[in-house]
């Protein structure tokens, strides 16, 4: 299910080239979105409903720890600046659609997508159930 994240704050974006970990390419384009608990209440509700559905239908009711779900509650953090916020980490192996306000394509040289800017995003939640474990992940579909 595709979920719209309006007016989300962009964090840790690797949108124009693959991300890296310990100097090695992850093979993925990635972004984390910071959602305000009040302003993004509808999106957070939709995400939680989809997580519950995926756990029930795809993972047969498996109990997942907070570290196994892409949506994180900032109130569970020790950092005050995270209170009242949620984060959702997303990634994709193919370059996501990146468009400007007028829906024209964005390239890196445009310098309009950067950590801290506010964007509208689309993510798709999916259940992972393989040799690497059971999780609920978010696929990054596009950013405006």
How remote is the C-alpha of 72 from its chain's centroid? 10
3-state secondary structure 103-143: CCECCHHHCCCCCCCEEEEEEEEEEEEECCEEEEEEEEEEE
pLDDT the model gives residue 86:
96
pLDDT at residue 82 above 90?
Answer: no
CA dihedral over 113, 14, 1, 66, signed as positive or negative: negative
Residue 97 banded pLDDT, cuts 50, 70, 90: very high
Contact 123, 90 (CB under 8 A): yes
Phi, psi of 83 (to 5 degrees): -65, 135
Confidence band of 42 (pLDDT split at 50, 70, 90):
very high
Q: Round to whole Å and give the CA distance between 19 and 88.
A: 17
Instruction: Judge whether residue 118 has pLDDT over 80.
Output: yes
What's the whole-number mean pLDDT along residues 15-19? 88
Per-residue pLDDT at 81 exceeds 80: no
Q: Which residues pair with 87 in a beta bridge?
A: 34, 72
Helix, coil or strand: residue 66: helix
Q: State the residue for tokens 């795809």.
A: 58
pTM of the model: 0.92
């Amino acid at each position: 299910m595709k979920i719209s994240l309006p007016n989300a704050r962009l964090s840790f974006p690797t949108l124009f080239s693959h991300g890296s970990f310990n100097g090695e390419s992850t093979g993925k384009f990635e972004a984390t979105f910071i959602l305000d608990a009040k302003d993004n209440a509808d999106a957070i509700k939709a995400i939680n409903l989809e997580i519950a559905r995926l756990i029930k239908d795809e993972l047969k009711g498996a109990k997942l720890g907070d570290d196994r779900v892409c949506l994180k509650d900032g109130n569970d953090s020790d950092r005050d600046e995270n209170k009242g916020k949620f984060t959702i980490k997303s990634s994709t192996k193919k370059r996501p659609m990146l468009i400007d306000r007028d829906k024209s394509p964005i390239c890196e040289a445009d310098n309009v997508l950067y950590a801290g800017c506010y964007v509208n995003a689309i993510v798709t939640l999916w259940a992972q159930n393989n040799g690497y474990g059971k999780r609920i992940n978010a696929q990054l579909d596009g950013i405006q």
